[in-house]
Amino acid sequence: MNILVAGGAGYIGSHTCVALLQSGHSVVVADNFSNSSHETIVAVQHLTGRKLTFYEADVTDAAAVESIFLQHRFDGVIHFAGFKAVGESVEKPLAYYRNNVLSTVVLTEACRRHGVSRFVFSSSATVYGDNRSPLLETLPLLPTTNPYGETKVISERILTDVAKTDSSFAVALLRYFNPVGAHESGLLGEKPKGTPNNLMPYIVQVARGQRDCLPVFGGDYPTVDGTGVRDYIHVMDLAEGHIAALSSLKAGVHVVNLGTGKGTSVLQLVKAFEAVNGVRVPYEVVGRRPGDLAECYAGVGKAERDLGWTAKRSLAEMCRDSWRAERSL
């Protein structure tokens, strides 16, 4: 299939481009480099040995998107092009609503105009709000604690409502848990600008001496060791989940969790990272981070039943691949 990957130069987008190219699909990427760089496009082509077509474009720009759709016949769109920092979304709500919601509207309008019926959307476990884990796709969504999460809820609703008007529209709403790790080549990876919002990139920066100490946000949660529990999933497993979703996508709206179904605490991840990589990660338990949940992990039965997909890579591989990418990027 010929797939438009919006945000394909980003962390998850670039890994999904690798999986798409290696599965024999052809890929067109549109990305404005707001949170990525062109060298990622070069790396994707280098490690797959395949070419992709690339446009530096903002997918909230309807004219730019129309121009791309006029030059290609797409069999599907995968939409990764969104801002994703929870804390930043609280400080800059308008930027998040404009970018994350308008991009979904613009891409969906283009699909309708050009008869593209497959749409895969990069959603997030954040939409579950403070529902109790394991989180199942059938749960009613609860208010999230931040504009970022609300933009994901709104985008899911837009796609669901559009699908009600056209029985041929086939939508996958993929709810990611905590993506970590990197392609085993070490050529791709998370390259957060400034202070990392997420745990794994912070651990990596402490391990390499770029930061003195990892702040552990809260040691008094009702969890195995008092620290926050999350469902960490290797980004290549996540990427392969997109290929599975695309290949099996039928008309209608299909909500699927992409996680491992296993919860890991902050301290368990720190210990695993130290053991796998033979490094030290000094940490200090500090106050809870506002908006954080105690536990968040996926129910994974639907992904297995509907997509024939399960996450395969271990926590050790996630830690090893995160560390390798950091050292080579």
Query: In whole angstroms, how close is the CB of 215 to ligand WQD at the nearest point?
Result: 5
Say how many CA atoms lie within 13 Å of 128 toward its Cβ: 26
Kindly state the smallest distance separating residue 211's Cβ from ligand WQD, in Å: 9
Interaction between residue 199 and ligand WQD (CB under 6 A) = yes
- Is 148 known to be catalytic? yes
- In angstroms, rounded to a whole number, what is the distance separating the alpha carbons of residues 83 and 129? 18
On whether the CB atoms of residues 76 and 246 are closer than 8 A, the answer is yes
* 239 lies in the site for ligand WQD, by CB under 6 A: no
Between 48 and 322, name the residue whose CB sits nearer to ligand WQD: 322
The alpha carbons of the chain give a radius of gyration, in whole angstroms, of 19
User: Given phi > 0 = left and psi -120 to 50 = alpha, else beta, which region is 162?
Assistant: alpha
Per-residue tokens: 196: 């990392």
Residue 160: partners with Cβ closer than 8 Å, 6 or more residues away: 171, 173, 253
Enumerate residues 106-135 that contact ligand WQD by CB under 6 A.
Answer: 124, 126
Residue 91 or 166: the one with the smaller Cβ distance to ligand WQD is 91
- Told to check if 86 binds ligand WQD by CB under 6 A, we report yes
Tell me which residue has its CB nearest to ligand WQD. 228
Q: Which of 197, 205, 248, 310 binds ligand WQD (CB under 6 A)?
A: 197
Count of C-beta atoms within a 10 Å radius of residue 176 = 22
**Residue 19 beta carbon to ligand WQD: minimum distance, rounded to whole angstroms:** 18
Cβ-based nearer residue to ligand WQD, 33 or 217: 217
Residue 230 found at the interface with ligand WQD (CB under 6 A): yes
Q: Which helix (H) or strand (E) holds 323?
A: helix 315-328
- Among 137, 292, 310, 317, the residue binding ligand WQD under the rule CB under 6 A is 292
Residues touching ligand WQD: how many (CB under 6 A)?
Answer: 20
Per 3-state DSSP, the chain is made up of helix, strand and coil in percentages (nearest 5) of 40, 20, 40
Task: Kindly tell me which residue out of 110, 116, 216, 298 binds ligand WQD, with binding defined by CB under 6 A.
Answer: 216
* Marked catalytic residue, from 128, 148, 232, 297: 148
Q: Binding segment for ligand WQD among 90-98, 234-242, 289-297, 303-311 (CB under 6 A)? A: 289-297
DSSP-derived 3-state class of residue 317: helix
Beta-carbon count within 10 A of 186 CB = 17
CB of 214 to ligand WQD, least distance (A): 6
CB of 115 to ligand WQD, least distance (A): 30
**Angle value at C-alpha 230, between 226 and 236, nearest 5 degrees:** 150
CB 55 within 8 A of CB 28: yes
Q: Is 147 an interacting residue with respect to ligand WQD (CB under 6 A)?
A: no
On the question of a cis peptide bond just before residue 134, with omega within 30 degrees of 0, the verdict is yes
Using rule CB under 6 A, residue 264 touches ligand WQD: no
| Burial bucket for residue 212 (CB in 10 Å: 0-12, 13-18, 19+) | exposed
103 binds ligand WQD (CB under 6 A): no
Site for ligand WQD in 165-184 (CB under 6 A): 176, 178
Close Cβ partners of 23 (under 8 Å, ≥ 6 residues apart): 243
Which of 7/76 has CB closer to ligand WQD?
7
Q: Which of 217, 268, 310, 317 binds ligand WQD (CB under 6 A)?
A: 217
Strand partners, 171: 119, 253
Interface with ligand WQD (CB under 6 A): 84, 86, 124, 126, 176, 178, 197-199, 202, 214-217, 228, 230, 266, 289, 292, 296
Q: Residues with catalytic annotation?
A: 148
